[in-house]
Structure 1
Amino acid sequence: MVRNCAARPKASCLQTSRNWRIQRVVFQTAPILFFSMLISDLMNQREVAAWTYHFSTQVYSWNVSRAYCQKFYTDLVAIQNKNEIAYLNDVIPHHKTYYWIGIRKINNTWTWVGTKKILTKAAENWADNEPNNKRNNQDCVEIYIKSSTAPGKWNDEPCGKRKRALCYTASCHDMSCYSQGECIETIGNYTCSCYPGFYGPECEYVSECGALDIPQHGLMNCSHPLGDFSFNSQCSFQCTEGYMLKGPSKLQCLASGHWTNKPPQCVAITCDPMERPVHGNMDCSSSLQGFQYGSSCSFSCAEGFLLRGAETAWCSDKGQWTAPAPVCEALRCQDLPAPNKAQMNCSHVHGTFRYQSACSFTCDEGSLLVGASMLQCLATGHWSAMPPECQEVTCTPLLSPQNGMVTCFQPLGSSSYKTTCQFRCEKGFSLSGPERLDCTSSGHWTGSSPTCEATRCPELFPPEGGTMDCLDILGEFHAGSACHFSCSKDFKLQGSTDVECTTSGKWTAPPPSCEAISPALPSEVRCPALIPPEHGTMSCTHHLGAFGLNTTCYFGCNVGFTLTRASRLQCRPSGQWTAVAPACRAVRCTELHIVMPIVVNCSNPWGNLSYGSTCTFHCPEGQLLNGSARTACQENGHWSNTVPTCQAGPLTIQEALTYFGGAVASTTGLLMGGTLLALLRRRCRQKDDGKNLLNPPSHLGTHGVFTNTAFDSGP
């Protein structure tokens, strides 16, 4: 047998020889002793490197053995016939571990690694009951050199075992056979098997085809990589203006010495008539003789239709239009998936989801349609709005008011829709706000959460001719407040000196009075001058001079502010007003209930969370705001908007635009931002039940509340 090596690396060339001598060599590049066998019979007249066998004196794994052979020789030996096996068994010394050869299981197939060829049945030389793939890891092969029971036979072994490496060096070289044939190893020499199109002992000659004539009215362009009109020569043809080829446009010289076809001819050309596309227009420049070479037609489509094909076609010198007749196809919008828990009903005029298609959407009870309820495929190829979605109605969880509790009933399970919450306060506190809140289909509660305010007793005033000092624990005249009364000089106290506000909202005793011992004359009585309260008004009627006896002053507050004391004061004979002058305090809104990780920033011009306070909300990077980004404390004590929540893991704008038909190129598409944001909420709902009340300011960069202390010094 012979082995081919020209079109492969040297490592793939194998050949046995008859006469060998053993030579011991020590390589300076590796501290390993090895033996080599050199072919002594060189049959070729030219000098070539003879085929040799080699083996290591050390033992290695299969992979190390192959690296060793590739470093110092060609590769692990590849055996080609039984005679070679007999020769190796005869000249190679016996070793207890035996020798690795160049065959391995690759993709469950035994393959010669040097030639990358699959082992054939005819070349197999397995020992009895081999290969057995014991333990399913025997992927490499050893040869039993001088085995007493199976000399020269093969056995599959685990590749990690250590054995001697049996190597070879090939005779063929890179330029053998002029690289125009396959180098075939023979005993001490090589021969050439020429590729098609080449011949000669060294494949040095190339086959030739006859010369070609240039066709009339035509041009010929040829390339001759191996000689004029020789094997692999190629000639291309084209005709002058007004003519077209009849026959092949390209010829090639084959290995047989014949051209692939007969040369073509050049004939005068005309084109077939062009038809106007449906839903479109066509404008042509043609002669009386019809659509000849050089004629052109331009095409356009009606609004809402896209030209599929070339806008302009010319009758070319090949007798064909430069492009086929185009068609006007209705623009197609992105397919619309039916939203979850929603019904979609579509009508199609020019085809499914094409121009003028319209789709309407409705949601089941307990779900809220977010987005447009009707979408139409526009002439731009985009929908009139982003597809809506049906979201389960979700109201923000309610917290128990301070000094109170809340009890909720949720009839629809996971959906907040139709949830009812009842509020009540502890003893000594009364409910300020609605007693019951319901979650509506819009995802909002029917009102703001109430608060539990300490029970208040009727407002007290200093007695005429006396003073009143009060200790308020929870606020003015709330349960637990205590007031002490005393009279001025020339006045005597009538009644209890001290009173206390009980949890029932009543004082422990009626307020006392001060009786004058020697009253002053009315014309001599003067009370301290009063000024209008900040954020309020004052109107007085004077009887006996400015702020004299019986002068009466009335007080009021601007919108968003309430009086802290009596709205009417009168000057008494004692020269004291019937009560302390009132102040206007900003109406206070309920505390905001924040759900982590939302971040809040508030400004408070007239007191913390009072009328005029505004709060803005935003979410950490990568999350979307579900609800309004701003709320304000109104004059009625309610916030203008409920607190939003953060939703994690949204689609990016680019993802949404790609999913629903690509980047929006029209003004209509750019106005769909709100609807797009609603769609982006679909990815993931915030599940964190952590809660944070809007109380102290937080540090910048943390979740919580930011306040502007410059405006927190209100009354």
Structure 2
Amino acid sequence: MCFCEIPVPGLLSLCMQDTPWCSPLKVKHGYASCRNPHGGYYKNALGTKCDIRCQKGYELHGPQELICQSDKRWSGKVVCKQKRCPILSMPPNGGFKCIDGAYFNSRCEYYCSPGYQLKGDRIVQCMDNKVWSGRPASCVDTEPPRIQCPSIKEKTAEPNKLTARVFWETPEGRDTADGILTDVILKGLPPGSHFSEGDHKIQYTVFDRAGNKGTCKFLIKVKVRRCGKLNAPDNGYIKCSGDGDNYGATCEFSCIGGYDMQGSPARVCQFNSGWSGTEPTCTPMNINVGVRTAAALLDQFYEKRRLLIISTPTAANYFYRLQLGMLQPAQCGLDLRHITVIELVGVYPSLLGRIGLRLMPPALALQVRLLLRIPHYNFNIVVVDKHGVDKERYPFPATPAELFTLIDTFPLRKEDIKLQAESGQSCP
């Protein structure tokens, strides 16, 4: 300490510079590095200069250097304030918790609401440069929505049907995040549709607002009760409804002209997968030439056979022999068109009637000539259809081509052609 009782010029000034002059300098959360210009002991003497520094995590507010002035005051005021990082923004569908707010060295941990996942750094820390470490996190919906489809649907087709109508409740999706779905897509037929026999895959897909999708699948199994396919009898046809062997289907049988049916003309596929009735067969027509009238004879061919009646006054007739010669190689075409040839040869009482190998009594042959008004003394050909209608007459021999062209125009013949094509019947 300097005691200056006697004022001496120059000595007083020196004494002031080495004497405590300003209040002691204290910096909270910081420190001052002071130097007396005269090297004195006191760091708050007149003219002392102090450099101000703050602790880590604090920043200086005020001048970096203070000087002890003649008015016994420091040249300024300083404060070390704790550093702060920018306020974190709250992530949508989530939040964060911090140890010490946004101050230096504070740690903040992000979290997300149920159904959302954290994207970015879960923990960030306020650094000395007043920025947060890492990337601020966000909460995103990455979990697909949930959807539950029904179990396998099995259905049996009803009688006479090859499809089954199937219903189910449309499944509802549920989003694990916000519960909002933006789209539902169905792949396959909708409920209430008619499904054919077999397995059908149905798929539902739902999307949430984040674009995540959830999918579920199930099968629809449609069964058709079947009895097994039936075949057409030899020399006959078969025509079935539906698919031919499904439950409720009916198969109808018919025989080609000149054959009679034995057994069930129609059979139905039953619930037990068995056919009703008995198996049909087609047997050759048993033509009865012992009938008393021509009408009774011709009735046997009604809706079964067409007739080609050849009448000649004598077996030596040239036209007669020529006609038989032309028909002999055309037997397949005659059979295909269900044509039976009846020959009336001679004049009563020496009249001879013949159907194939069966001989007719002269009186019955005469009745046929009289019924159809066929002349006795001339060569004639009469074509009769399956309904007993006299369709055409020829006074001269007719070629098979002429006869077949005529007969192929008959209404019933068109149905025959269709059935024969389906069964593969044809002539070489």
- Structure of higher RCO (CA pairs closer than 8 Å, 6+ residues apart): 2
Q: TM-score, normalised by structure 1?
A: 0.20
Higher alpha-carbon Rg: 2
Q: TM-score, normalised by structure 2?
A: 0.31
